[in-house]
């Protein structure tokens, strides 16, 4: 299968450096017209300049591609809408959105201010919401869209000192799950990428020899597959150092405990069985949990009849 983006228009946020830059360059190299968005702030989100985004645009154009720079902050819905409007005015469509913009304000939860918690959620989660909201009606109208959220192992599995970042990153998976369901009839496919890469965001978090193995380029194939015409939907791909995995939110078979004053004690006694992963499933939607629970309750009632 050839992964080709000829004739497609892509928006990549946070594309002035690191992983976002590699995403933008790769999409352009495979034929996409690319909006290179980057607020140009520091790793903690302070400051701002469009110089980095323009440098990536210059690279793309020098290689024969088409691109435009945009310095909007994804936290500003009006600026995001203006960015999408600019892309439409130039190229008449938006096919791919890669929500890559992010910031770090790491501290242990005890030392973290609520301001820093809210700001990280605002950039990662609401930034993605703003971008999705701006492109969604266009993708519905053209009956085609590919959206890639950038999640993280910190959100999927936790990481010390990143309560704000982890909360935002797992929230993006929840956003992905519902948008994929709502977008299905319009051929809007929504996926998430959990990258492990050496970028400005990870400097100082890993030893030099590990960072050397984690070049951002090694993550890009996963993004391209998740954004391609033949992309899956509702997938979470993990990528780093040339290795790729899939992450799933699963539901165990569980056990029927029932109700009554001693239900907590009976649940505690059966907790190992409830958590047993044998036969676990990946639900098609949130309704699967309730369906399974009600089915167990009805089966018990029938058995007693």
> What are the catalytic residues?
165
Dihedral in degrees, nearest 10, Cα atoms 166, 168, 174, 179: -140
Residues 6 or more apart whose Cβ sits within 8 Å of residue 95: 5, 8, 9, 10, 32, 139, 142, 144, 145, 146
> Do the Cβ atoms of 172 and 124 come closer than 8 Å?
yes
Residues 6 or more apart whose Cβ sits within 8 Å of residue 19: 100, 150, 195, 197, 199, 216, 219, 220
Distance CA 193, CA 153 (A): 10
What is the pairing mode between strands 243-247 and 236-240? antiparallel
Residues 6 or more apart whose Cβ sits within 8 Å of residue 276: 252, 253
Instruction: State residue 16 phi and psi, 5-degree precision.
Output: -80, -15
User: What ranges in 143-284 are assigned the alpha helix state H?
Assistant: 153-157, 163-183, 208-213, 220-227, 263-269, 271-275
SS3 236: strand
Residues 6 or more apart whose Cβ sits within 8 Å of residue 66: 28, 33, 34, 60, 91
Distance CA 13, CA 10 (A): 10
Residues 6 or more apart whose Cβ sits within 8 Å of residue 153: 159, 194, 196, 238
């Amino acid at each position: 299968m050839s992964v080709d983006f000829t004739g497609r228009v892509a928006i990549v946020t946070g594309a002035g450096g690191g992983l976002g830059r590699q995403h933008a360059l790769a999409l352009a190299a495979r034929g996409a017209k690319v909006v290179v968005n980057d607020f140009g702030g520091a790793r903690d989100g302070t400051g701002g300049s469009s110089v980095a985004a323009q440098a990536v645009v210059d690279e793309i154009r020098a290689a024969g591609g088409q691109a435009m720079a945009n310095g909007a902050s994804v936290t500003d819905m009006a600026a995001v809408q203006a960015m999408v409007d600019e892309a439409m005015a130039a190229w008449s469509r938006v096919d791919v959105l890669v929500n890559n913009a992010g910031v770090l304000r790491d501290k242990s939860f005890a030392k973290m201010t609520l301001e820093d918690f809210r700001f990280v959620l605002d950039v990662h989660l609401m930034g993605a919401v703003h971008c999705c909201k701006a492109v969604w009606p266009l993708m519905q109208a053209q009956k085609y869209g590919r959206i890639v959220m950038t999640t993280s192992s910190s959100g999927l599995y936790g990481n010390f000192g990143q309560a704000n970042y982890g909360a935002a990153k797992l929230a993006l998976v929840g956003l992905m799950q519902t948008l994929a369901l709502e977008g299905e009839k319009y051929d809007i496919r929504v996926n998430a990428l959990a990258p492990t890469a050496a970028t400005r965001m990870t400097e100082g978090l890993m030893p030099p020899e590990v960072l050397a193995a984690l070049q951002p380029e090694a993550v890009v194939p996963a993004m391209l597959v998740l954004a391609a015409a033949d992309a899956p939907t509702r997938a979470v791909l993990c990528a780093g150092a040339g290795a790729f995995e899939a992450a799933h939110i699963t539901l165990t078979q569980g056990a029927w405990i029932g109700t009554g004053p001693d239900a907590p004690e009976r649940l505690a006694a059966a907790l190992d069985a409830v958590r047993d992963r044998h036969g676990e499933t990946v639900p098609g939607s949130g309704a699967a949990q309730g369906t399974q629970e009600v089915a167990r309750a009805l089966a018990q009632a029938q058995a007693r009849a």
